[in-house]
Chain A
Amino acid sequence: MHLDNYKSLKDEEIISIILQEHKTELFEILYQRYSRKVLDKCYTLLKHRELAEESRQNIFEKTYEKLNTFKGTASFLSWLYSITYNYCIDYLRNKNKLHYPEWNSNHEIPEIIEESQDDQEEINYERLVKILEMIHPEEKALLLMKYSDNLSIQQIGQALRISESATKMRIKRAKARVLFIYKEIYKD
């Protein structure tokens, strides 16, 4: 079977053929399409090249095993990203013993700053990149999932194993923290 014959198909069509006709080799097309994105996501969270590559392999294996649970209510890429975040955050929680509630208690936000439309015009994006590296990895992951990868609240909650209410509140807190740190460090 020549994969080229199937490369123009959409993700959902490829998945359907894999599941119904057992043409499992077609999974290679999905791997080729999204391998780089998943690797970049892993590196953003794990900050270690070899670990990111190993994690990418494990994530695609997991995705293949779970393929029959893909419902198609969101895009395949969103679903793949939620598996990616879940894997990386689980790794960080287990390996580094990250404890978000404890970290959060020790890093109270002294002031919740009112967001203004001017922020968009004044903000320096390079500085925001640095601030994102200063907050807890779980808060960084929350903000990336919501504002970069456009995952739904439900997907984010499932990835981090928290409720939808907790997801909304933690995103709110993470956003407030980023803004506070920005104003504090770059007062001018």
Chain B
Amino acid sequence: MKSFYQKLLKKDFHLPPRQVTEGFAKNFNNPVNTEWHKVGDHYEALFHHENIEKLAFFNALGQMTEIRTNQTVSELPEPINDTASRQGEIMNVIYIQKGSQNSYEIIVKQTDFTRKLILISEDNEILKTEIL
């Protein structure tokens, strides 16, 4: 059990190249507890910013290519909330900003044992659905 807690508390010191950390610092003031992972040829930062969980993706040049922000159901624009709610009870919302295409990744509960992922654009268009 002790090793579980050691792993839980272990701080991730695997920093990406300086260009990437500089790109990160330019975009986010005072991030807390940043964890870095390499995903393909991109770098992913998982961190808290103003008490909210965020995932930010950077290319090797330090340019931010995407950011995902954890949101509450109450932060969803009403039309998008309505569209998602027609498919089930909303259980999770993540706002995705990627270039000029922003969208919401929403998980809905349909029954006690089935959940669905719905990707909805800012224009309220359903882009993708997937049974989880």
Contacts and interface: CB of A to CB of B under 8 A. Distances in A.
A95 B127 CA distance: 34
Interface string B1-42: 110111111110000000000000000000011010000000
B6 A120 contact: yes
B132 A114 contact: no
Contact of B92 (A117, A119, A162, A168): A162
A163 B117 contact: yes
Contact of A115 (B33, B68, B72, B113): B33
Nearest to A149: B4
Nearest to B6: A120
A39 B35 CA distance: 33
B68 A120 contact: no
Contact of A168 (B5, B46, B91, B105): B46
For this complex, into which size category does the number of interface residues on chain B fall? 35 or more
Interface string A125-166: 100110000000000000110011000000001100111011
A90 B113 contact: yes
B97 interface: no
Contacts of B94: 163, 165-166, 169
Interface stretch (A13-21, A68-76, A170-178): A170-178
A169 B49 CA distance: 12
Contacts of B55: 165, 168-169
B113 A94 contact: yes
A2 to B, nearest CB: 37
A178 B95 CA distance: 25
Contact of A129 (B1, B6, B113): B1
Given A101-B73, A169-B55, A172-B48, A115 B115 contact: no
B82 interface: no
* Secondary structure dominating the interface of A: helix
B85 to A, nearest CB: 13
A176 B33 contact: yes
B9 A123 contact: yes
A172 B68 CA distance: 14
A147 B92 contact: no
A114 B32 contact: yes
A93 interface: yes
Interface in B69-122: 70, 72-73, 90-92, 94, 105, 107, 112-115, 117
B84 to A, nearest CB: 13
Given A101-B73, A162-B91, 15 more contacts: A90-B112, A94-B112, A101-B91, A112-B32, A123-B9, A128-B8, A147-B4, A157-B132, A163-B94, A163-B105, A165-B68, A166-B92, A173-B70, A175-B8, A178-B8
19 contacts: A94-B112, A94-B113, A100-B91, A105-B72, A123-B5, A123-B9, A125-B2, A128-B8, A144-B4, A147-B4, A147-B7, A148-B4, A162-B91, A162-B107, A162-B115, A168-B53, A172-B46, A172-B48, A175-B8
